[in-house]
Amino acid sequence: MTYIKTSSPKPGVVLIELNRPEKRNALNNATLQDIAACLQDLETDAAVKAVVITGNTQCFAAGADLNELVQLDVVSIQQDQRPLLWKKIDEFSKPLIMAVNGYALGAGLELALHGDMILTGENAQFALPEIGLGMLPGAGGTQRLARLVGQQLTMRWAMTGEMISAQTALQHGISSQIYPVGLTVQYALELAEKISKQAPLAIRAIKQSLKSIHEVTLSQGLKLERQHFVWLAATQDRQEGINAFLEKRKPEFRGV
Amino acid sequence: MDYQTIIVEEKNAVGYLTFNRPKQLNSFNETMHQEVSKVIKAWAKDSQIRAVVISAEGRGFCAGQDLNDRVVDPNADAPDLGLSIEKYYNPLIKLITEMPKPVICAVNGVAAGAGANIALACDIVIAAKSASFIQAFCRLGLVPDSGGTWFLPRLVGRAQAMGLAMLGDKIPAERAVQLGMIWQVVEDEQLQAEAKKLAEHLAQQPTYGLSLIKKAIHAAADNNLDEQLILERDLQRLAGRSSDYKEGVQAFMQKRTPEYKGC
């Protein structure tokens, strides 16, 4: 793991820090590989309940690495490993929180959009600058962002590369809250900790259910939701949750 | 570094920016905008500079936009006055209000138009007795810019703001203090010494904490009480982690004078 640092600042919570500050955390293949591999490890680690990804206070991630992009022609780009890496990140089944301070540009914004929740610092700036290079966002920038904020704004942002401030991002539902820069990661970790104490199977079901909203129709989605609901009835954690409520105590979930 | 339109000095952790086009009453042309912006930007990031003083040479403070500058030529086809605001005045006001350290304005003479509002954007404004403030815009059919319509009602209330902006009267420094528009008025010959004293004092204070105060007070203009209480909690969290806070408490316990570093 050359380009990321991992730590566990709270029980059940892993913090991944992008660590390529000299390149403003540009997401080269190796960094993306590191993130995907790390999440794959955390996927199977039962002690890990939630993950936070952050950059540094000035920069979340400033896009793809142009030195790598310039080497790809229309033939070699067919064998580009990046779509596979993005898919691995997308498939992570535990809660993934993005703590975004500073710039999240291009692939940086796209990485943020792979999170289940985005919290930002006041200095956060998002953009899809690919158009300035004669390209378009290639890792869901047009697709995920449009599903989040609608076609109008995405069209504008993708066609101009305009900066999106923390305030604008909050206003349009890209993020759920803005914090002073020095506290973004702290609050993201607290949020992750709060989630880590919930019943893991229910959290997983919630994530699956919500991630399907853009894939299926409402009636299909309602069916899926109901299936999760029924399936969770067989879990011990559900019994524990209800018992604890009736006995006026805090539940202790075990993920079974 | 040589400047054509300003004088720049750095001394005892204080940055002094002095407008230096006295013949034009220190009105802004493009060069002056570029020079001022460059210096203020650099100081915002320079941890060695812990307080800033903005003042001016000659009998005036700043007469706002230089009307001879080509960007506002009324004889050209429909001049776009919004351009210089977007390019220069708005960023300057943001630089001053977001600068994470105290900005003192020493108003030595007439501050008119954008000149008045640049002064009002500063954190602590002291003025010479003979200085004055004029929201001259209305006389030319213009709107107070550089934050004027935002600062004025917040400083003096709507009734006074409306009168100031619609009449464009010359407001003497003492009246400006009474209205709550500025902090203090001093004898003319005392102005620079007072500004220096104030700046050198502030530069030795816990300036990181002062930057958080500045932030909170600016945010208060838009926040409701709930939001402001949350902001205060968050800023206090940050302040509590500063080495200046630690130093302050230690110095208090050890009954000595604290030595603050601004971080």
Asked if residues B35 and B226 have their Cβ atoms less than 8 Å apart, the reply is no
Asked if residues B53 and B15 have their Cβ atoms less than 8 Å apart, the reply is yes
Rounded to the nearest 10 degrees, the angle between the axes of helix B158-167 and helix B148-156 is 130
Whether the full predicted model's pTM is greater than 0.90, yes or no, is no
B86: phi then psi, degrees, rounded to nearest 5: -65, -40
Check whether residue B129 and residue B245 sit in a common domain. Answer: no
In chain A, residues with a C-beta closer than 8 Å to the C-beta of B235 are 180
Residue A7, C-beta contacts closer than 8 angstroms, at least 6 positions apart: A14, A15, A17
Domain boundary among B166, B187, B203: B203
Model confidence over A174-200: pLDDT tens digits?
999 999 999 999 999 999 999 999 999
Residue of B nearest to A181 (CA): B238
Number of domains in chain B: 2
Check whether residue B196 and residue B226 sit in a common domain. Answer: no
ipTM: 0.80
Asked if residues A199 and A253 have their Cβ atoms less than 8 Å apart, the reply is yes
Check whether residue B199 and residue B215 sit in a common domain. Answer: no
Model confidence over A133-152: pLDDT tens digits?
999 999 999 999 999 999 99
Other Cβ atoms closer than 10 A to B73: 11
Q: Is the pLDDT score of A72 beyond 90?
A: no
In this prediction, residue A115 has a pLDDT band, given cuts at 50, 70 and 90, of very high
B40: in domain: yes
Asked if residues A51 and A192 have their Cβ atoms less than 8 Å apart, the reply is yes
- Chain A contact for B241 (CB, 8 A cutoff): yes
Check whether residue B28 and residue B103 sit in a common domain. Answer: yes
- Three-state DSSP at B142 gives coil
Q: Which residues 184-203 in chain A show a CB within 8 A of chain B? A: 186
How near does any CA of chain B get to the CA of A233, in Å? 39
Other Cβ atoms closer than 10 A to A91: 12
- Three-state DSSP at A247 gives coil
Asked if residues A240 and A253 have their Cβ atoms less than 8 Å apart, the reply is yes
In this prediction, residue A73 has a pLDDT band, given cuts at 50, 70 and 90, of confident
In chain A, residues with a C-beta closer than 8 Å to the C-beta of B211 are none
Answer left, alpha or beta for residue B12, where phi above 0 means left and psi between -120 and 50 means alpha. Answer: left
Residue of A nearest to B232 (CA): A180
- Average pLDDT of chain A is 95
Domain boundary among B203, B218, B239: B203
The domain that holds B242 is classified in CATH as 1.10.12
- Residue B41 confidence (pLDDT): 97
Check whether residue B187 and residue B67 sit in a common domain. Answer: yes
What structural domains does chain A harbor? 4-196 (3.90.226.10), 200-246 (1.10.12)
| Domain residue limits at B211 | 207-253
Distance of CA A53 to the CA centre of its chain: 7
- Residue predicted with more confidence, A73 or A9: A9
Give me the average pLDDT of each 10-residue run along chain B (263 residues): 93 98 95 97 97 97 86 72 93 97 98 97 98 96 96 97 98 98 98 98 97 97 96 97 95 95 93
Check whether residue B126 and residue B85 sit in a common domain. Answer: yes
- Three-state DSSP at B65 gives strand
How far is residue A227's CA from residue A217's CA, in Å, rounded to a whole number? 15
B262: in domain: no
Check whether residue B195 and residue B216 sit in a common domain. Answer: no
Q: Is the pLDDT score of A156 beyond 80?
A: yes
Asked if residues B64 and B28 have their Cβ atoms less than 8 Å apart, the reply is yes
| Angle, CA of B46, B50 and B53, to the nearest 5° | 105
Domain boundary among B187, B203, B219: B203
Mean pLDDT to the nearest integer, A39-45: 97
- Residue A76 confidence (pLDDT): 83
How far is residue A107's CA from residue A82's CA, in Å, rounded to a whole number? 11
| Contact check, Cβ <8 Å, A179/B234 | yes
A26: phi then psi, degrees, rounded to nearest 5: -55, 135
